[in-house]
Structure 1
């Protein structure tokens, strides 16, 4: 099976590093598969500052930085360039951040977006799946 490429949204990481139940276990399983190079994972460049802010509300600053460093080692960074911004601005997405993540995923040729906020993504060119749904595709 070829390595599949995923773009994971912020909630995926918060579920893991803040141990948010009941979402922790499937997200942690998926993270481990990416860490083991069974899959290729991306995080949108725009997400790093937001993720730092949200993590630092639940963790000390130094722990939030170490967490981002771990994420950066395991995940590639999906760039946000003029094309991604232009497509996001012209899109029908209600949430601009979701639009930027989606078009960043397309930019890196991701096979799907991993999120728990599927309702925010409509009429997609690539699948938008929860961690549980994606893991189920690996078991088929």
Structure 2
């Protein structure tokens, strides 16, 4: 199973943001589970770095992203991703459209985000951390 993690999930773990941290950290811990591949885009990592840097400083943020990037598959963000996003009239948020088509490019089965409303056009399930764990893991 391939799981795409949106930036808000990653940020909650990197910054230990409550109340989401206990649940989002469980999702991230799935990186070591056989049969599960966590994915995200370079854009999500850049957004996560920005917020982590604000809280922990550049050196610590870089270390966190480096550790994370060793466990997570990077999805492509290329011309095709941009073209698909621009061609879909349902996409209201360009960044979310990029994430969506980037996730599809590697065959993600589900998108985990705490902002599921932005992915209303998705053809794959879009779930919050808690709902994802309930439906797919526990």
Aligned-residue RMSD, C-alpha = 1.2
Query: Which aligned pairs between 1:15-94 and structure 2 lie closer than 5 A?
Result: 15-91=12-88, 92-94=90-92
Could you say which residue in structure 2 is the equivalent of 1:111? 109
Deviation at residue 81 of structure 1 after TM alignment: 1.4
Structure 2 CA distance for aligned equivalents of residues 56 and 95 of structure 1: 24
Structure 1: runs of 5 or more not aligned: none
Distance 1:21 1:34, change over 3 A: same
Unaligned runs of 5+ in 2: none
More displaced 10-residue stretch of structure 1: 33-42 or 101-110? 33-42
Q: Does 1:124 align with 2:122?
A: yes
Q: Equivalent residue for 1:136?
A: 134
Offset at 1:38?
4.8
Query: Which secondary structure state, in structure 2, belongs to the residue aligned with residue 46 of structure 1?
Result: helix
Task: Count the aligned residue pairs.
Answer: 136
- Report the TM-score when normalising by structure 2: 0.93
